[in-house]
Amino acid sequence: MSFTNIVILLKIERIALFSSLIMFLSLSLNAQTKEEPWQFFVGINAIDTFPTGAPGSGDLFEEFLNIDHWNIAPYPSFFGAKKYIGAGFSFGTRFSLNTINRYGDTSATDNYYNVDGIVSYNLNTLFKGERLMPFLELGGGYSIFDEQGAGYFNLGAGLELWLGENKKTAIILESLYKNTGETYGVKHFQHLLGVAFLFGGDKDSDQDGIPNKEDECPEIPGIAAFKGCPDTDGDGIQDNKDSCPQVAGIPAFNGCPDTDGDGIQDSEDDCPQLTGIAAFNGCPDSDGDGIQDSEDECPNEAGTEAFNGCPDTDGDGISDLDDKCPNVAGLIENEGCPDTTEDEIKRLQEIGRTIFFKINRSDINAKNDLILQEVFMILTKNPNYLIEISGHTDSVGSTEYNQGLSERRANSVAQFLIDKGLDASRITSRKGYGEEIPVESNDTAKGRSANRRGRVEFKLYQSKTEE
């Protein structure tokens, strides 16, 4: 064996030792990861020493795509492996060999051997591509041109085109610039074309990102929170513990819903969209009268079962809906209103004629107060009657003034009764007649005295029911 061959074998051994060290480091680092697979790649390479800017070569990137300067190995001439370590980075090693037939335009017959340690960054982390994934590479290695070896710093970029539904196989294309600080070293570009395959790592049958050995539901895609088991409805309760796995629910009902939030789960709630009570299987009783709304003719007013949930406020056995006097106990024949005696009606008419005012006054004096309290009591007892109030004056003063005074007197009486509690709707009219309707002649002093004092009269109307 010649001395030259011995030297070459020694250098190959150095390359093998260096590559083994890189692979060992790669294995040690990647043992810290759990799930991401290894990538194995193989293909052909081309060496170009021309566009490097080195003495005797072209400028950097000059005639970069001139394949006449390329030394292409037409057989599988590089292979390697790398593994994803997180955040877009992968770490690995690559071996390559070639035959150098030319250095630029100069012919040669040299062998080329190379081993690299590589760190690559997948730009898909930024661009979110589906299949075409660009990457950058940084690394270093040892290359031998014929019998001369040197260490190199590598900088490159490439593309991976992942194929198939599961994207386990890719076509790779990469170019590397390899620079060295050694004066005897040969700066060069290396171009790679090959295929890559994913292998190794922990199996993830359902591809949910959780390896089978940590996945309690390895055949069904799930989430990390439940160790790989699914939560289909997203309610925070995993499906195998969820009685309603297709509908979001709450823990209190083992994952089943309570849409109206009344504490009764929908499957047992006769009114799942309305807040209700257990006594009526989840249906509401809005007025709390013990009759559920769907059967209650007055769902917003507490009533009795006898009147289908409607009230009988005065307790006279007549529903308020049918009672013309709902606040006063009455008779059925009077539509819930009490019986009115002729004496009461007569008394109301009499006292209505005894309300007098002082000259030019419309306020209620003490005597009128007592009279109107009695009027109020009679009207309260007979809520089916409506009244008309009229005010009058004597003929002293102008017609306009007397008209206004009579109106104020009528309003004063009406307001007194309303303030006592009479419903204003029962006063059908409050009208002033001025000096138009005297009770005695204004031609005599006595008559003028009577008319001058003025009074208020009542007219009664019994309320009519609708036919």
Range list for CATH 3.30.1330.60 in the chain: 342-462
Least confident of 103-107, 224-228, 333-337, 386-390: 333-337
CA 366 to chain centre: 68
Range list for CATH 2.40.160.20 in the chain: 3-199
Residue-level pLDDT at 213: 85
356 pLDDT exceeds 60? yes
pLDDT band per the 50, 70, 90 thresholds, residue 337: confident
Q: Which residue has the higher pLDDT, 165 or 277?
A: 277
Which of 215-229 are b and which e, b meaning 16 or more Cβ less than 10 Å from the residue's Cβ? Answer: bebbebbbbeebebb
360 pLDDT exceeds 70? yes
Give the residues across from 391 on adjacent strands.
432, 456
Asked whether 275 and 261 are in contact (CB, 8 A), the reply is: yes
Show the tokens assigned to 467.
């036919």
pLDDT band per the 50, 70, 90 thresholds, residue 388: confident
pLDDT band per the 50, 70, 90 thresholds, residue 428: confident
Percent of the chain with pLDDT over 70: 85
Mean pLDDT, residues 62-76: 94
**Residue in 124, 188, 187 with CA at minimum distance from that of residue 161:** 124
Q: Which residue has the tokens 């000059």?
A: 62
Longest dimension (CA), the chain: 167
Mean pLDDT, residues 191-200: 90
pLDDT band per the 50, 70, 90 thresholds, residue 13: very low
- Neighbouring residues of 187: CB distance < 8 A, sequence distance ≥ 6: 49, 52, 53, 54, 57, 177, 178, 179, 180
Residue-level pLDDT at 411: 93
412-427 pLDDT, tens per residue?
Answer: 999 999 999 999 998 9
Distance in angstroms (rounded) separating the CA atoms of residues 17 and 35: 29
Give the residues across from 155 on adjacent strands.
138, 177
Other CB atoms within 10 A of residue 281 CB: 13
7 pLDDT exceeds 80? no
Residue-level pLDDT at 451: 63
Residue-level pLDDT at 127: 64
Residue-level pLDDT at 345: 75
Least confident of 269-278, 431-440, 457-466: 457-466
247 pLDDT exceeds 70? yes
pLDDT band per the 50, 70, 90 thresholds, residue 385: confident
Percent of the chain with pLDDT over 90: 51
Q: Which residue has the higher pLDDT, 377 or 256?
A: 256
- Which value, in Å, is the radius of gyration of the alpha carbons in the chain? 53
453 pLDDT exceeds 70? no
Show the tokens assigned to 68.
């006449």
Asked whether 356 and 455 are in contact (CB, 8 A), the reply is: yes
- Selected from 1.10.10.10, 2.40.160.40, 2.40.50.100, 2.40.160.20, the CATH number assigned to the domain covering 3-199 reads 2.40.160.20
Q: Which residue has the higher pLDDT, 150 or 442?
A: 150
- 306 burial (CB, 10 Å; 0-12 / 13-18 / 19+) is exposed
- 111 burial (CB, 10 Å; 0-12 / 13-18 / 19+) is middle
321 phi, psi to nearest 5 deg: -60, -30
pLDDT band per the 50, 70, 90 thresholds, residue 24: very low
**Residue in 284, 306, 282, 303 with CA at minimum distance from that of residue 293:** 284
- DSSP per residue over 358-424, as a string? -TT--S--HHHHHHHHHHHHHHHH-TTEEEEEEE---SSS-HHHHHHHHHHHHHHHHHHHHHHT--G
Residue-level pLDDT at 201: 66
Residue-level pLDDT at 17: 42
pLDDT band per the 50, 70, 90 thresholds, residue 458: low
pLDDT band per the 50, 70, 90 thresholds, residue 332: confident
Residue-level pLDDT at 249: 93
Mean pLDDT, residues 140-158: 95
pTM for the structure as a whole: 0.45
6 pLDDT exceeds 70? no
Distance in angstroms (rounded) separating the CA atoms of residues 142 and 382: 117
pLDDT band per the 50, 70, 90 thresholds, residue 86: confident
Kindly report the average pLDDT of the chain as a whole number.
84
Architecture (CATH level 2) of domain 342-462: 2-Layer Sandwich (3.30)
21 pLDDT exceeds 70? no
34 pLDDT exceeds 90? no
Residue-level pLDDT at 297: 93
Reported as type and span, the H/E element at residue 135 is: strand 132-145
Distance in angstroms (rounded) separating the CA atoms of residues 184 and 152: 12
